[in-house]
Structure 1
Amino acid sequence: MKILLIAAAAAGAILLSLLTFASANTDLFARQYPLLMGANAIIAVALLVMVGMQLRILRREYRRGVFGSRLKTRLLLILASMAVLPGLLVYGVSMQFAVNSIESWFNVRVDSALEGGLTLGRNVLDSLQADHAAKARNMALYLSDTNEIQPARLDRLREQSGVQTATVLTSGGQVIASSSSDLSRLLPPLPTPVQLRQAQRRQGLSWVDGDAETGLTLHVLAPVSRGMLGNERILQLTQPVPAAISHSAENVEAAYRSYQELQLGKRGLKRIYTMTLTLALLLALLAAAAAAFFLAKRMAQPLLILAEGTQAVAAGDFTPRAELETPDEMGVLTQSFNRMTRQLAEAKRDAERHREELEAARGYLESVLANLSTGVLAFDTDFRLRSANRGATAILDDTLEDVRQLPLLEWHRHTVLAEAIAGGFEERGPEWQLELEIGSATGAPKRLLVRGSVLPFAAGYVVVFDDISDLIVAQRSAAWGEVARRLAHEIKNPLTPIQLSAERLQFKLAGFLNAENREMLERSTQTIVSQVQAMKNMVNDFRDYARMPSPELSVLDLNALVDEVLRLYEGSHAQPVFHPDPHLPMITADGNQMRQVLHNLLRNAQDALGNLDAPCIDIQTGRAGQYAMLKVSDNGGGFAPQTLARAFEPYVTTKPRGTGLGLAIVKKIIDEHKGEIRLANRASGGAEIVIKLPLAESAVAAT
């Protein structure tokens, strides 16, 4: 509203200035008439737009029942009526005064005097033109009797005629001879080709050019009779008009032109005065309306602040409102209201801070659960899945997205787990624990330790489970290691005496027996010796498994190691095919133990391919993140499901003469190297063993 008042005051000042200038300077008014009209029109439109916008806003607020709009409307009507009546009275008096004053300006008639002055000036100029035209004809008559015009003769004729310049030109405009009393210029202004042609056709031509400031100049063209050669010539005379005559004629013409312009602008002057006074009245009405809006806003402002603040508090917004810095009751009321809203805002911030802390704690807990290797499943009271962490999806090899809306017993891909969970809560109570075995995508079953709990306040159920397959394998491996160590200690001691006793019996008794009994004794003792040797080999395997030395790690080229070992299998029934990665970095490993791993894997693969006509052993190397990968696959029968689950345990074998310690030793070596090993059956048939070994530190740093 303040901006509106400032704009109205500026517009009023502009209108009054225009009115003053237009009244005091009629010449300025006549020249700037279009600009005055345009400025007044723009101001009028702007005023109408502002008033219309304010009234439209007030009308909309009144219809919507905005608090304070009725008070604004009442004040606006009162103040506007107080301004309209005096404004109309002043407007009527001013209009009559302005119109009568303008009419009085044009009561004295000066048209005849100005026209007489113009006629007199024209007659003087016509007389001068006629005199010079006669001089030009006389000079042309003197010059027509000779073919060659002498400059001296032309000078004499010019001086006798009393003109400033005399020039003889051809019909094409070329100068033949020229004479001038003005020595500052070589040639006078020459006529145009059009003027030359007009002079030839009319037998002469005269005109006046210039103005009162530069001076008027008379120009006369007269044709010169043709000479003996038949060429036509034209004589040009120029003579400046006296300065007094020029200035007088110019002043009379200017006064007449100004008067005619004022006569033409008489109606426009009345119109501009009428429009100025009208706009002044509109300005007064706008100022009254603006003042009404301003005063109504000032009076209704405290109530509007309280109404807005009350609505905001009801909507939950406790931001402090603007308050009045006045000592009256309304100012104190707004300040008290703001103190109340600030206290509410502080309480809301405290509650929001507590909520954010709870959300942060919840997010932290969810982050911890999401990064646990243990699987966590949360169910509602109807046993529908609410959430599952990454550990659960990794153990179950399933995203579980398609079972979130299904009851637990309809989990067809995880029937064993679903039945175990449902049965656990139904039969074992709110807290229970059990072990179960489930299938996996690789074919090897997984052993899970499952725990279930009922959430407090009937919020649902939570199930936590761990994949303890590796733990069980490790426990069994440790147990077998202890058994192997003790067996190797207990069995190896009596084997040597048994072998020596059998050999001594053969040596002592062979000479006392006939041929048949001697052969039987020899066969029996040989059996004892061979079986004792077999038991020694078995004991050595147990010893190696139980007392596997720590690896002596060094930087090793895996491709070169594989290539070295494969040379020992050249010419075998199942020739391995090697596909090395030429960019494979170095690894950190024990070369001797890695050779033992390769020999065990290759012997197992060749044993599995013994009866095939087209055996194939494929070996590949590559990089997998921070590990080097070694993959050995064949096209044999693959692992049996019961063997795949316990392949790394001692004495688990399908070979008739195997001890079942090969893969167990391989697993132990890989674990000592902090690597990984995985067994699987290929989809196209055959077995696949994947080993991952850590890269050397230099190779990791290079990446």
Structure 2
Amino acid sequence: MSGKEINKDKIKLSQSLNLSSFKDFLVNAFVVLASFAKGSGNGRRGRLFRRSFFLREWQNIAVIGLVIAGIISGIVTYAALNEAPPFGSSPNMVIWMLNADLVILLMLVATIASKLVGIWSGRKRDVAGSHLHVRLVYTFSILAAAPAIIMTVFSAYFFHFGVQTWFSQRIQTAIAESQAVAQAYLEEHKQVIRADTLAMANDLDRQSMMLIGNAGALEDVVQTQSMIRNLSEVIIFDSNGRVLARSGLTFTLEFEEVPKYALDQALLGDVVVMTGGNDDRVRALVKLNGFVDSYLFAGRMVDQKVLSHLNATKQASESYNNLEERYSSLQVTVNLIFVVVGFLLVLIAIWFGLILARQLVTPIRELIAASDRVRAGDMTARVGSFKNMEELDYLGRSFNRMTSQIEEQQSELIQANRQLDRRRRLTETVLEGVSAGIVGLDDKGVVNLANSSAARLLLREVSDMTGRPVSDIFPQITDLLDRAHDRPHKVTQAEIPFVLDDGSAKIFLVRIAIELIGEEEVGAILTFDDITELQSAQRKAAWADVARRIAHEIKNPLTPIQLSAERLKRKYLSQIKDDADVFSQCTDTIIKHVGDIGHMVNEFSSFARMPEPVMKEGKLLPLVKDVLVLQGQAHNDIEFQVHCDDKNIATKFDAHQIRQALTNLIQNAIDSIHGADDVSQKGRIDVVMGYYDDQIFISLADNGAGLPKDENISRLMEPYVTHKAKGTGLGLAIVKKIMEDHNGALSLGAPDWLKRDKNYSDLGGATVVLLMGNHSL
């Protein structure tokens, strides 16, 4: 390989590149890039950057321009590096193109960084489709960047091994041998002309005596010597530069001034060999010792081509050695060029990957956003057409058809739901207006419908009943429900007793109808009425009629019997001599029992013909105290107490009937105290008066035997139900009737609200509460 060929293999480029300025530009460029990347996310610089380069409406156009410019710049840079026409060997062109590549590189990096920041920000905000967008960008970037990176790595690799061939041992040996051959050739010419010049000087010195002062003879000798020794030129001159003689061939040659160092060296006796200024001659200078201040300057022509090759060989060797010394910096520079161009291609590829990812994600994002709107209830959500992507466009059209159908069906469902809602409200209104309890059951016996009357009758909340098995709420109905399932086409009914949570007993008339669809049982409708009061009223009416008939049939003969007994006693007591005491005792017994029967008949009459109350406004406390005083005088063994915070409790009431009610209750309490197991304990009756909601209450508590444990408490208020040996069972019935006439009620036992009253004390016996309307409000 010749030096000229090596020069064509990038040596000229390495000589002409200004490495220091190019590296400085790289450092400054990356500093600017870092500042742009830092400010592209936030801050004033980032906002200005986005506003100036990345306005949304111009962004695509600007990026397309950058991509085109990058492609063109890369092609031109490659052409300049390869010295392709019209650039040739132009280092400045390469530097400018590299600068242009870096500017485009910076702009693309800033653009892509802004895009990536936006994508990452969308992922942080959990924007629809952002996670897929990030994955697509990552995948496309890897796929796009991998070829460019591989190309850059292999280019640098091939360049490295290509340059290694430049500095192989064979190349170095060839260049060294070429330089040695050229040097030897030139040295040979120098030695020959040295010898010829020295021999000619010796000849002239030997003839110096004849030639000094004889210019013509000197000229002839010089001419002869130059011809004999084949010298191209011969000149004899003194130190002042005056020519003393010359050969004929030198007339056409311009005498060049001899360097001073050559004269000084020749003055010392040396033969000085040098080449001419035009590189076509080899000259020698020597001092003539036989002459005064004279020098012999001889020259021989050398082939111009040979000298040119010798000079080129020398320059190539020097350039090769220089290139070998700068091999590391050259490799770094070329690798940087590869990296810049490769990075530019990578960024272009990544940008196309971003565009492709956005084209794929945008329809998906629109579909997700529309789906979210549909999920939120907006059935008018539609997506646009995606003409460039047929599959996604088909998906969008399918989505639009689906939402249109859903919108139509939703409208129909809304209309149907409105009709059902109107029917439901009508049904609820009807059910709420019904006094009977209505409960709907599903096929498993779970309550799915209950009106307020059902909740009120069972002392529950509607929400507490719904969703629970009916067996948990109304266990007494289980048998009746089974009978209803055995005869699903008929209504099954029965009277069922039921004890509420407050301990009160009720009697419900229950009817069950099985709901059928075809022959399949899908549920049941249960209706029930509280017939407790109805049965009580019926029994009261029946007993009142019985009492009236008994009073009428028994009271009529009682008076004649009593009068006859008294008459017998008065008329015959004095006439009977024997057993007069027995006769008197018998008549007294008849009179006494007739009185008892009369008293019983009077109670029957009172129960049967309870008069209408005469309501007059007055205070209750004095009435209560009067009753207690009378009872206290009659029963000294019992302590009576009254507690009332408001001494002026007043309302409208019938004093006679309230007095009768209190007397009956107190008498029952006295009987209970006398019938207690512990007769040593002093009897006590506490009366508490006060207000409960909008009613007035009077409670009576004793420390007697208490209410019967084995009897339904509510039955104690029915006529002729008694646990006393001589009781008629009409006392509580009369009291209940009196309280009902006063818009009140009779309650057996202490309710919870009474137990919270500070004046109430549980004495261990029975507690009875009278409630009456507060007509003074």
TM-score for the superposition, normalised by structure 2 = 0.46
The verdict on how the C-alpha distance between 1:52 and 1:65 changes in structure 2, with shifts beyond 3 A counting, is closer
The verdict on how the C-alpha distance between 1:414 and 1:355 changes in structure 2, with shifts beyond 3 A counting, is closer
Work out whether residues 320 and 341 of structure 1, in 8 Å CA contact, stay in contact via their aligned partners in 2.
Answer: yes
Is it true that 1:688 corresponds to 2:767 in the alignment?
yes
Following the alignment from structure 2 to structure 1, what is the Cα–Cα distance between the partners of residues 129 and 412?
Answer: 40
Query: What CA deviation, in whole Å up to 9, does each residue of 1:414-450 have, x standing for no partner?
Result: 7644344334544787521112334456666433322
The verdict on how the C-alpha distance between 1:353 and 1:617 changes in structure 2, with shifts beyond 3 A counting, is farther
Following the alignment from structure 1 to structure 2, what is the Cα–Cα distance between the partners of residues 62 and 677?
Answer: 73
Is it true that 1:422 corresponds to 2:482 in the alignment?
yes
Following the alignment from structure 2 to structure 1, what is the Cα–Cα distance between the partners of residues 699 and 630?
Answer: 19
Secondary structure, counterpart of 1:487 in structure 2: helix
Structure 1 residue corresponding to 2:379, chosen from 282, 300, 318: 318
Structure 1 equivalent of residue 616 of structure 2: 554
The verdict on how the C-alpha distance between 1:688 and 1:371 changes in structure 2, with shifts beyond 3 A counting, is farther
The verdict on how the C-alpha distance between 1:383 and 1:694 changes in structure 2, with shifts beyond 3 A counting, is same
Q: CA deviation at 1:309?
A: 6.6
Structure 1 residue corresponding to 2:654, chosen from 577, 584, 590: 590
Work out whether residues 129 and 368 of structure 2, in 8 Å CA contact, stay in contact via their aligned partners in 1.
Answer: no
Count of matched residue pairs: 457
The verdict on how the C-alpha distance between 1:318 and 1:397 changes in structure 2, with shifts beyond 3 A counting, is closer
Identity rate of aligned residues, in percent?
A: 32
Q: CA deviation at 1:514?
A: 3.1
Following the alignment from structure 2 to structure 1, what is the Cα–Cα distance between the partners of residues 444 and 112?
Answer: 71
Following the alignment from structure 2 to structure 1, what is the Cα–Cα distance between the partners of residues 544 and 627?
Answer: 28
CA-atom RMSD in angstroms? 6.0
Structure 1 residue corresponding to 2:680, chosen from 609, 613, 617: 613
Query: What CA deviation, in whole Å up to 9, does each residue of 1:335-390 have, x standing for no partner?
Result: 9x999978964652342243255346547756876897655554443445556666
In the TM superposition, 1:650-689 aligns within 5 A as 650-680=719-749, 685-689=764-768
The verdict on how the C-alpha distance between 1:427 and 1:691 changes in structure 2, with shifts beyond 3 A counting, is farther
Q: What one-letter code is carried by the residue in structure 1 that aligns with 2:497?
A: E
Work out whether residues 584 and 628 of structure 1, in 8 Å CA contact, stay in contact via their aligned partners in 2.
Answer: no
Q: What one-letter code is carried by the residue in structure 2 that aligns with 1:601?
A: L
Following the alignment from structure 1 to structure 2, what is the Cα–Cα distance between the partners of residues 415 and 322?
Answer: 58
Work out whether residues 431 and 451 of structure 2, in 8 Å CA contact, stay in contact via their aligned partners in 1.
Answer: yes
Q: CA deviation at 1:556?
A: 3.2
Secondary structure, counterpart of 1:549 in structure 2: coil
Q: CA deviation at 1:501?
A: 3.9
Work out whether residues 378 and 463 of structure 1, in 8 Å CA contact, stay in contact via their aligned partners in 2.
Answer: yes
Q: CA deviation at 1:461?
A: 2.7
Following the alignment from structure 2 to structure 1, what is the Cα–Cα distance between the partners of residues 499 and 368?
Answer: 69
Following the alignment from structure 2 to structure 1, what is the Cα–Cα distance between the partners of residues 603 and 428?
Answer: 49
Q: CA deviation at 1:477?
A: 1.2
Structure 1 residue corresponding to 2:706, chosen from 638, 645, 669: 638
Work out whether residues 129 and 365 of structure 2, in 8 Å CA contact, stay in contact via their aligned partners in 1.
Answer: no
The verdict on how the C-alpha distance between 1:357 and 1:53 changes in structure 2, with shifts beyond 3 A counting, is farther
Structure 2 equivalent of residue 449 of structure 1: 509
Following the alignment from structure 1 to structure 2, what is the Cα–Cα distance between the partners of residues 54 and 650?
Answer: 90
Q: CA deviation at 1:605?
A: 0.3
Query: What CA deviation, in whole Å up to 9, does each residue of 1:34-59 have, x standing for no partner?
Result: xxxxxxxxx99997865555677999
The verdict on how the C-alpha distance between 1:404 and 1:430 changes in structure 2, with shifts beyond 3 A counting, is farther
Following the alignment from structure 1 to structure 2, what is the Cα–Cα distance between the partners of residues 51 and 631?
Answer: 86
Task: Structure 1: state its 5+ residue gaps.
Answer: 14-42, 78-288, 325-333, 699-703
Q: CA deviation at 1:678?
A: 1.3
Following the alignment from structure 1 to structure 2, what is the Cα–Cα distance between the partners of residues 349 and 589?
Answer: 63
Query: What CA deviation, in whole Å up to 9, does each residue of 1:177-197 have, x standing for no partner?
Result: xxxxxxxxxxxxxxxxxxxxx
Work out whether residues 438 and 446 of structure 1, in 8 Å CA contact, stay in contact via their aligned partners in 2.
Answer: yes
Q: CA deviation at 1:577?
A: 2.0
The verdict on how the C-alpha distance between 1:545 and 1:315 changes in structure 2, with shifts beyond 3 A counting, is closer
Work out whether residues 643 and 652 of structure 1, in 8 Å CA contact, stay in contact via their aligned partners in 2.
Answer: no
Structure 1 residue corresponding to 2:543, chosen from 480, 484, 487: 480
Q: CA deviation at 1:7?
A: 9.2
Following the alignment from structure 2 to structure 1, what is the Cα–Cα distance between the partners of residues 426 and 532?
Answer: 29
Query: What CA deviation, in whole Å up to 9, does each residue of 1:467-490 have, x standing for no partner?
Result: 322322121112222222333334
Q: Which has the larger radius of gyration?
A: 2
Following the alignment from structure 1 to structure 2, what is the Cα–Cα distance between the partners of residues 551 and 516?
Answer: 55
The verdict on how the C-alpha distance between 1:620 and 1:426 changes in structure 2, with shifts beyond 3 A counting, is farther
Query: What CA deviation, in whole Å up to 9, does each residue of 1:397-416 have, x standing for no partner?
Result: 678979977794xx6x9764
Work out whether residues 702 and 766 of structure 2, in 8 Å CA contact, stay in contact via their aligned partners in 1.
Answer: yes
Work out whether residues 616 and 634 of structure 1, in 8 Å CA contact, stay in contact via their aligned partners in 2.
Answer: yes
Work out whether residues 480 and 493 of structure 2, in 8 Å CA contact, stay in contact via their aligned partners in 1.
Answer: no
Following the alignment from structure 1 to structure 2, what is the Cα–Cα distance between the partners of residues 426 and 694?
Answer: 49
Q: CA deviation at 1:562?
A: 1.9
In the TM superposition, 1:100-179 aligns within 5 A as none
In the TM superposition, 1:236-635 aligns within 5 A as 317-319=378-380, 321=382, 345=407, 348-359=410-421, 361-362=423-424, 365=427, 374-384=436-446, 408=471, 416-426=476-486, 430-439=490-499, 445-457=505-517, 458-506=521-569, 509-510=571-572, 513-516=575-578, 522-571=584-633, 572=635, 573-582=637-646, 585-611=649-675, 612-614=679-681, 615-635=683-703
TM-score for the superposition, normalised by structure 1 = 0.50
Structure 2 equivalent of residue 104 of structure 1: none
Following the alignment from structure 1 to structure 2, what is the Cα–Cα distance between the partners of residues 604 and 63?
Answer: 86
Work out whether residues 431 and 452 of structure 1, in 8 Å CA contact, stay in contact via their aligned partners in 2.
Answer: yes
Q: CA deviation at 1:604?
A: 0.7
Work out whether residues 374 and 381 of structure 2, in 8 Å CA contact, stay in contact via their aligned partners in 1.
Answer: no
Following the alignment from structure 1 to structure 2, what is the Cα–Cα distance between the partners of residues 511 and 558?
Answer: 52
The verdict on how the C-alpha distance between 1:621 and 1:370 changes in structure 2, with shifts beyond 3 A counting, is farther
Work out whether residues 425 and 432 of structure 1, in 8 Å CA contact, stay in contact via their aligned partners in 2.
Answer: no
Secondary structure, counterpart of 1:575 in structure 2: strand
Secondary structure, counterpart of 1:618 in structure 2: strand
The verdict on how the C-alpha distance between 1:323 and 1:604 changes in structure 2, with shifts beyond 3 A counting, is same
Secondary structure, counterpart of 1:493 in structure 2: helix
Task: Structure 2: state its 5+ residue gaps.
Answer: 1-45, 56-106, 145-349, 386-395, 752-761
The verdict on how the C-alpha distance between 1:349 and 1:424 changes in structure 2, with shifts beyond 3 A counting, is closer
Query: What CA deviation, in whole Å up to 9, does each residue of 1:153-179 have, x standing for no partner?
Result: xxxxxxxxxxxxxxxxxxxxxxxxxxx
The verdict on how the C-alpha distance between 1:364 and 1:562 changes in structure 2, with shifts beyond 3 A counting, is farther
Q: What one-letter code is carried by the residue in structure 2 that aligns with 1:674?
A: N
